[in-house]
């Protein structure tokens, strides 16, 4: 579960600031994500639901533990509840569920004009409430029975948001200055692919080998260290962290920096891995979709980068 201080901090953001933060987090993960639309009254605590999110997927993408297909529309609605007013996390979850059931004098969130007009394939509730597996199941069951025209329902709760903020150094300092000071440790991760031609000496060259490159640049103000690199992938409907990059191979050890090698500010380390190695991920399950590289430093900071669509297609060939 999230740290108590962080819970309080997110709770204190207020609806507008909370939605702004969520928009930045989602925008960093989903190409084409938008915030917009003025909605009717009826939000939590009488707030005006002024903003909703929309993601029109141009290609396959990962959303929590689901794979979103191309040309599908995903709608996000943001619900910020103050725990002190609601009377605790359990009551907050009950209050959320009540928003998704039409009553005699109340039109539920799923039948509001903005949602109906968009005819989304997936509806996502984004909230500062701590959600558990029972709530997720109850939410999906109630929404599916109440509006079966929307094929998929999901909940992004406090734990996911805290995890995402932990990997966004600039955002956590901007939105939670009392908890996180100015960023001293900060790594920038970029990914790409290319071709390497092995040279065996003299005139002898091998066949070109497709490679995947992970570039780690220290944009902080103090030395840092890469402790581990891994992939995140959706495997048969579950998100798994695949540690296949940390392989004990003499050639790989020769061309890559060792984990724990000092990385001075302004300097870069590049890790290179044959795509043939990454294709081993296909054996993890019947449906595998790699979507993210995760880099951890030695003090526990987490940095992420999306895997380019072209690389994903090559891995899954």
Q: Is the per-residue pLDDT at 239 higher than 80?
A: yes
Q: Burial code of 148-182, b = ≥16 C-beta within 10 A, e = fewer?
A: eebebbbbbbbebbbebbbbbbebbeebbeeebee
The tally of domains found in the chain comes to 2
Query: What are the DSSP calls for 58-81, one per residue?
Result: SS-EEETTEEEPTT-EEEEEEE--
Of 142, 50, 147, 144, give the one whose Cα is nearest residue 98.
Answer: 142
Q: Of 109, 142, 175, which residue sits at a domain end? A: 175
Q: Of 131, 155, 175, which residue sits at a domain end? A: 175
Lowest mean pLDDT among 45-49, 119-123, 130-134, 302-306: 45-49
Report d(CA 282, CA 36) in Å as an integer: 38
In a domain, 305, yes or no: yes
Say yes or no: 161 and 236 in one domain: no
Say yes or no: 156 and 192 in one domain: no
Q: Is the per-residue pLDDT at 85 higher than 60?
A: no
Q: Is the per-residue pLDDT at 309 higher than 70?
A: yes
Say yes or no: 162 and 223 in one domain: no
Say yes or no: 18 and 47 in one domain: yes
- For the segment 279-294, the average pLDDT, to the nearest whole number, is 89
Residue 115: its H or E element:
helix 113-118
Report d(CA 174, CA 182) in Å as an integer: 9
Return the bridge partners of 238, or none.
235
In a domain, 105, yes or no: yes
Q: Is the per-residue pLDDT at 193 higher than 60?
A: yes
Q: Between residues 64 and 41, which one has the greater pLDDT? A: 64
Q: Is the per-residue pLDDT at 203 higher than 80?
A: no
Domain residue limits at 82: 4-175
Q: What was the pLDDT predicted at 50?
A: 57
Whichever domain contains 226, its CATH number is 2.60.40
């Amino acid at each position: 579960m999230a740290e108590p201080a962080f819970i309080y901090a997110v709770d204190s953001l207020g609806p507008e600031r909370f939605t702004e933060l969520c928009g930045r987090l989602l925008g960093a993960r989903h190409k084409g994500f938008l915030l917009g639309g003025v909605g009717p009254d009826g939000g939590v605590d009488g707030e005006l639901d002024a903003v909703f999110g929309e993601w029109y997927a141009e290609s396959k993408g990962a959303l929590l533990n689901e794979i979103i297909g191309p040309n599908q529309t995903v709608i996000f609605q943001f619900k910020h509840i103050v725990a002190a007013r609601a009377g605790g996390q359990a009551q907050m979850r009950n209050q959320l569920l009540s928003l998704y059931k039409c009553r005699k004098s109340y039109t539920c969130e799923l039948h509001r004009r903005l949602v109906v007009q968009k005819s989304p394939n997936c509806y996502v509730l984004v909230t500062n409430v701590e959600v558990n597996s029972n709530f997720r199941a109850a939410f999906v069951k109630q929404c599916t029975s109440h509006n079966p025209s929307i094929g998929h329902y999901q909940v992004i709760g406090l734990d996911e948001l805290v995890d995402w903020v932990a990997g966004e150094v600039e955002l956590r300092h901007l939105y939670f200055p009392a908890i996180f000071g100015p960023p001293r440790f900060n790594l920038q991760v970029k990914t790409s692919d290319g071709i390497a031609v092995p040279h065996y000496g003299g005139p002898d060259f091998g066949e070109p080998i497709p490679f995947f490159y992970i570039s780690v640049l220290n944009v902080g103000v103090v030395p840092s260290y890469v402790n581990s690199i891994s992939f995140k992938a959706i495997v048969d409907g579950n998100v798994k962290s695949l540690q296949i990059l940390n392989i004990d191979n003499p050639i790989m050890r020769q061309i890559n920096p060792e984990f724990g090698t000092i990385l001075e500010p302004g300097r870069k380390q590049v890790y290179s891995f044959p795509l043939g190695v990454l294709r081993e991920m296909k054996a993890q399950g019947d449906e595998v979709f790699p979507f993210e590289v995760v880099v951890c430093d030695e003090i526990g900071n987490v940095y992420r980068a999306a895997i380019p669509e072209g690389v994903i297609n090559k891995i899954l060939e």
